[in-house]
C-alpha cells in the first residue's frame, strides 16, 4: 500500500521505492513532459478557466493511473531486492534451497 500512496502523490516515486529504476525514470520523464504541456496550457495568452480544469483532470488521471499500475506490480511481489529502499546495510536475501 505504501508504494501506491507514494505514486499517487508523485508518479514514479513508488517505483523507485520498489527498486524499478528504469521504469521509474521513464515515468518521471513522461510526467515532467506532461506537466510542462499542462503548464503551457495554463499560462497561455488566451487563458481560460476551462483550460485549468482540463489540465487538473489530466494531471489527476495520470497520477491515479500510475498509482494503480504501481499497486498492481507491488501486489504481484515484483520487488527488486537489490535496488529497493530500506535494504542498505542489511545482508542480502538468499533463497531457500528447494527440497528434492
25: which 3 cell numbers? 525514470
The per-residue pLDDT for range 40-98, each reduced to its tens digit, is 877 777 767 777 777 788 888 888 988 888 888 888 776 665 655 555 555 555 656 66
Report in angstroms the alpha-carbon separations of 41 from 4, 34, 52, 54, 80: 28, 11, 8, 9, 38
Instruction: Please tell me the pTM assigned to this model.
Output: 0.64
Cα 55 from chain centroid (whole Å):
19
What is the predicted pLDDT for the residue at 37? 79
Locus of grid cell 510526467: 31
3-state secondary structure of 92: coil
What is the predicted pLDDT for the residue at 81? 59
The per-residue pLDDT for range 5-52, each reduced to its tens digit, is 888 788 888 888 888 888 888 888 988 888 887 788 777 777 677 777
What is the predicted pLDDT for the residue at 41? 74
Amino acid at each position: 500500500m505504501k508504494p501506491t500512496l507514494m505514486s499517487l502523490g508523485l508518479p514514479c516515486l513508488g517505483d523507485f521505492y520498489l527498486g524499478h529504476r528504469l521504469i521509474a525514470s521513464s515515468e518521471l520523464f513522461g510526467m515532467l513532459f506532461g506537466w510542462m504541456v499542462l503548464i503551457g496550457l495554463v499560462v497561455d495568452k488566451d487563458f481560460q478557466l476551462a483550460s485549468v480544469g482540463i489540465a487538473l483532470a489530466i494531471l489527476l488521471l495520470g497520477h491515479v493511473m500510475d498509482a494503480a499500475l504501481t499497486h498492481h506490480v507491488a501486489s504481484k511481489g515484483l520487488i527488486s531486492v537489490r535496488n529497493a529502499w530500506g535494504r542498505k546495510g542489511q545482508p542480502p536475501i538468499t533463497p531457500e534451497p528447494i527440497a528434492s
